[in-house]
Structure 1
């Protein structure tokens, strides 16, 4: 084999390795947000918590994520991407230990809030670091690793909850050493949280950050391992596009007229629409959803696990095609698919007969069609808006504002997630499932026009040319 090809192969393996280590933050992001699924009922029973206290215990973690995301860019620009990852790892570990040790619902909520802050930091650092360390031709695929890690994290959390609950008999029953099973559900997060910190300490700092800190010889060393060959031209290009005379600030995101820069608004729109199409309702409330339409608890859990698996497979499809087809075509196809499938579910749930408790009952083929539509919706989201949003957020901002702009966009994503997650139960109660899915259908239709008019293709463009 020729030496150049061998070197290029070694460079590619190296980049995949460091991007994979950064994406571990995504795994913990998915794991941390989903692990409460199996524990929430047992937890509220153990502490005799009312529905408001339980709701806050679940949803305040999402607001913690918004806070963590908002400050992550500032931390990353001041102390570096790697140190921010290590800080997130420490917070994940403390939160996992504390969440399994609470004596009441309020200290439990505090530990979850801490975990939420860690999730927010990880949600900003991973896409920024991966984009800054990836060669242009691989950036889309490596950026999609973040979403793959998130969905694998969700899947593993649901699976470990399921096995712990089944082994103990229920989430409330004693498990190992006579300690309640639901506490062990949170402690399963400790090993990956520690591993994330250890992995972060073995990877190099982002070359863009190093150039901004006037550490060019270190940046050259990292870039030669990533790109190979002479990297001095690349360093010169980066030098022209980073702020060296001072730390980046949030004021850099403002235009001369005082409002946010148009590109920042596009990032916020992308983030908010990713949540407004209702994807997290499927993951946070899926077993409740399927029970509401007549499936048993066990079958509902099985369907939830299948949905998680579908999400992983479709993210792999995105990884295969994002650098071939580009970001915009995948988003357009995904938006069309989501509008059709969500519209189908809205129509089925909206016209279904209701039982004495007010829950829709799907008879005959309607239940099967709803099930197929729900999984096809996850499929459409999984190859488009799921991974491509993170790819675009990591690469669409220029080097001067990337940390701060990503922080604002990701913080708004967590606020949108909070709004969708907390409004679903009251919409379900007062207006029914059909109305809830009608709202998400409208958001999916808006997402199509948003992509057509506001998203520019970034495939094949160097970060320095953004």
Structure 2
């Protein structure tokens, strides 16, 4: 139990952390599912004899499912509850893992990736919403950041699993167990965390704000009583003032009377787009391919990718310790400045590298020893600045910046925009890389700079404010 000043909520720390951790397991699967293809992509491309365009679509196809999952999950959560959406997402992860691992060609692999994407999209909406709704204001930023910590941990586990399976088999394309290639097992192992997520989601209570919206006040009081030491009755009354019982939120509620989306909704969408347009997921979807293309071996490339993901975990923990102290806006401003510098260095390094013609007749940059070290430092520096700022802070803001009336629907729309932006960046990277890696990273550099100006001008600070106080 956390003892606080009289004006600050007193709460059962252990209970609220446990609830947040279970909800954040959706983030773990989100990270695992989106990153697991990293170690498999080269072997899949060779086995299914795919060109660059089809390979890019196989990698990014899950993101189309993410768009649909995020778009629908917010509204479904407002109708059926947060817990049911978590269980549905867990089932979709399991189906996708099995289907992808047993795929017979690019078409059905795309289908199974789409199914998993719907689960990822749903998890990306439901975890921050649930965590924000059960968390005391004083620690909401730290608990909300658990979503990002879970995501980057999922990425790390996926990449580590990829590297281990490839190492055991002697390569991602080599046979491992039961006559299946190692890349297939990379997908199949996701069944384990998906099953755990579904079982644990059934053990936690429904969001008190959803229960109030449905008129189930006694259940809501009971859930809040598990979290808060004092002030349960007052908080229920505050929630009632901002929630319309039995009302079904629609996208019409996101519009101003004069037409167009509410300004706060536009800010949420823009935050989502900027988070992706700095190119962070290029690092996690294509990093092993990228490092191999500039002269690293497959083993070294997978090792570098694992190191990058560990770095991401460490700096996310740093963000958790800072976000309720210095605020969301400050973290975003620091992150934007750092990303602008590190991405700019990558653009310069790749732009000045020697070009060598590969087996397909395409000119690729080959980094010298010094250039390789600088590129690795800059790439990991980029991950540091993103991981301590735009990674966790955007998810925290999306979970808390919308009022109770529109939270689920607005978060769903903003998350759908994020996945659309992710899809565009991931799909276009192979083509942009063929133009030149300096061009691709120059593009991301520009958006890092623009994100700095956007935050300074438009993003509100939500640190310490109750959800019921959001406009």
Q: Secondary structure at the match of 1:259?
A: coil
Gaps of 5+ in 2: none
8 A contact 2:294–2:366 mirrored in 1: yes
- What RMSD in Å do the two structures reach over aligned CA positions? 1.8
Gaps of 5+ in 1: none
Q: Secondary structure at the match of 1:355?
A: strand
**2:438 alignment partner in structure 1:** 434
Deviations 1:52-111 (A, max 9, x none): 443332221111100100000111000000011011111111111111222332122111
Find the aligned partners of 2:128 and 2:176 in 1 and give their Cα distance.
37
Could you tell me how far 1:363 is from its partner in structure 2? Answer: 2.8
Find the aligned partners of 1:258 and 1:124 in 2 and give their Cα distance.
25
Asked if 1:395 corresponds to 2:400, the answer is yes
TM-score by length of structure 2 reads: 0.95
Inter-CA distance 450–394: structure 2 relative to 1 (3 Å threshold):
same
**1:78 alignment partner in structure 2:** 79
Asked if 1:369 corresponds to 2:374, the answer is yes
Find the aligned partners of 2:129 and 2:316 in 1 and give their Cα distance.
19
Find the aligned partners of 1:382 and 1:2 in 2 and give their Cα distance.
28
Matched length: 463
Deviations 1:348-390 (A, max 9, x none): 2222232234222333533222221111111000100000000
Q: Residue 390 of structure 2 is aligned with which of 385, 393, 401? A: 385
**2:452 alignment partner in structure 1:** 448
Inter-CA distance 104–136: structure 2 relative to 1 (3 Å threshold):
same
Inter-CA distance 49–343: structure 2 relative to 1 (3 Å threshold):
closer
8 A contact 2:94–2:194 mirrored in 1: yes
Q: What are the equivalent positions in structure 2 for 1:208-219 lying under 5 Å apart?
A: 208-219=209-220
TM-score by length of structure 1 reads: 0.96
Q: What are the equivalent positions in structure 2 for 1:108-257 lying under 5 Å apart?
A: 108-257=109-258
Find the aligned partners of 1:280 and 1:388 in 2 and give their Cα distance.
16
Deviations 1:395-431 (A, max 9, x none): 000000000000010000000001111111111112x
**1:259 alignment partner in structure 2:** 260
Q: Secondary structure at the match of 1:203?
A: coil
Q: Secondary structure at the match of 1:360?
A: strand
Could you tell me how far 1:207 is from its partner in structure 2? Answer: 0.5
Find the aligned partners of 1:2 and 1:84 in 2 and give their Cα distance.
30
8 A contact 1:224–1:230 mirrored in 2: no
Deviations 1:90-134 (A, max 9, x none): 111111111122233212211111000000000000000000000
Q: Secondary structure at the match of 2:73?
A: helix
Could you tell me how far 1:296 is from its partner in structure 2? Answer: 2.4
Find the aligned partners of 1:116 and 1:2 in 2 and give their Cα distance.
38
**TM superposition outliers: structure 1 runs of 4+ over 4 Å:** 1-5
